[in-house]
Amino acid sequence: MKALVKNVTEEVTAAAIVKQAVSVPSGPIYRLVTRGGGSEIERSGSDSRFLVPDSWASALRLDGVLADGGLVISVPTEQGRRSYAIDELAQVRELAALEQTDAVTAAGNRLVIFGRAGLKVRNTETTEVTYGTSVRVAEASSNRAGDTIAFVTRPSPYQDALLWRTGTPAVPLVTGGPSVRPAKVASCGDGCHVSVLVRFPRDRQILVFETSRLEQIVVVEHASNIFAWTERCNLLHLDDHWPYARLHRTDPGGETLSAGYVRGATTRLLPSADGTHVHASSVDHPPSVLPLAEVLVEDDGSLPAAGTEVRTRNGTLRILRRRHRRGRSDRDVFLLHGGPYGLWTPCWDPIVDLLGRLSLEVHQLEAPYTAALQGRHAQFNSGDFGAVDAESVAEAITKVSAGSRLAPLILGHSYGGYLGARAAQLIPGRVGGLFLMSSIWQANDLARLRDDDRENRSPLSAFLAHAFPRGSAIPATDLPRHVPVHVVHGSRDPIVPVEFAVAATSAIPNATLTILPGEGHIPQRPAAVSSTLHDIANWVERTNNLVWSH
């Protein structure tokens, strides 16, 4: 077992993992890459590298590309958060001081700063406040023309999508409400078209507007949140097809054509001077930037049947099976992803690789929250938000593992781990072990998450607002006492404080805890990943003698 862990750890350490990537249709692609213990920024078409200081590595953000090709980044410093431009990956120049809650985007020669204090536009030397200080701006998109900015604001309790032009008042494009939530915006390079992703209770749509007439011209249904404009005002977008997303292209006239399926899990579309690339991972490779043509496959039946579904009393959940290498195993392990963050499509994952090598049958189970967004599962209620979900997870695990000799294992991250712990309590004796990553919640903690300004720009805010109505209560994570439990938690987790994990694991004798120094909500540094893999292997060994209790 130690040899297996060593091999997987070495492969993870040696891999070049692209953490972030940004581009512009007429320019280069920049990549933030981790190798071994260090991080660096690379630029397409160049052999130059920018070595990222260790103090920046965990919180650096790639924010955009300027007209002159300079990369805009934001990082924490001893003086507070700062925005910088890196020219030719060599010279660093400061652009602006930022508030803790600010985010940044860049296009043309403009820097757009937005957050709790509204929206600001910074040219070379001046800053202009362009939209009040009494609203929160959740996302902004600019263009190289420099005169059009589309952005989403969050006046309580709903958010609106507006279009702003220099010297003119903001014009509403989409007005938010209880069942209409603008969630993402993008502008084409010339500013003639703006797209707004809108979440509805049972669907997500991309609305395309022509800015000269402020007229909606296209509606893209069943969209994901991954889309981008190419140089000739063509909108590339992925749908929610499972387990492989289908790529579409919509032209300015509104005609939409399917270009095939993208194999694996795509994080971002990257139009550039060298053609369109994707930031994606698959079973065969870690997160990388690849030409779109290399990951596209035709809709000819050649894709493997990678998934199935399981029906529960509350709805239908999808399951992706990742079998180990020697056929059917005697033990199942269920991976439960977090709220808006978990990727359960076929993607590179050292944890899945290790579990397979340990001869476990790996099942990636869809969260009921994801199924609810597509109308396949009951929505949350205004009381105990996890009760219905936990019932469905417990029922799905029981059905899928009915033919196994050994009790199944549950490995969950964040909200997925929380559900796993609650599901294990519902089926005592039918779960062989719990491995929880960043999953220990305390009672009535929802208000802190909603009010945490650091998260208002992330998918977490949409996840909380859509799934957990005001008045919901979070019961504390109740760890079962009848199975081995291991908890892994980052010391700097901004979403679930590490103190929660310490308190919960100290209360029961069958729980152990590993605190990852300096890590946040998701372990990222190679040392943290290696530690987590070792913990998983030891946890599996501890559970090997537990069988079904009939």
Can you tell me which residue has the tokens 């929505």?
379
d(CA 105, CA 343): 25
The tokens describing 110, both together, are 């403009």
Phi, psi of 22 (to 5 degrees): -135, 160
| pLDDT higher than threshold 90 for residue 289 | yes
Residue 272 has pLDDT above 70, yes or no: yes
Count of all residues that appear for the chain in the document: 550
CA atoms lying within 13 Å on the CB side of residue 53: 7
Write down the H helix ranges in 22-82: 54-57
Q: Is CATH 3.90.1150.10 correct for 308-542? A: no
- In tens, the pLDDT along 462-495 reads 555 545 555 455 566 678 888 899 999 999 887 7
> Using one digit for the tens of pLDDT, what is the confidence trace for 446-470?
555 555 433 344 455 555 554 555 5
For residues 261-289, give the mean pLDDT: 89
pLDDT at 436: 94
* Sequence-ordered list of residues with C-beta below 8 angstroms from that of 108, at least 6 positions apart, any chain: 66, 67, 142, 143, 144, 145, 146
- Report H helices in 42-145: 54-57
Q: Which two tokens stand for residue 117?
A: 């204090």
Give pLDDT tens digits for 385-442: 678 889 999 999 999 998 888 899 999 998 889 899 999 999 988 899 999 999 887 6
Q: Read off the tokens for 184.
A: 């993402």
Query: What is the residue extent of each domain of the chain?
Result: 16-98, 308-542
Amino acid at 55: S
What's the DSSP call for residue 407?
P
pLDDT band at 244 (very low <50, low <70, confident <90, very high): confident
465 vs 379: CA distance, rounded Å: 12
Residue 298 token pair = 């035709």
Name the nearest CA neighbour of 419 among 374, 457, 380, 361.
Answer: 380
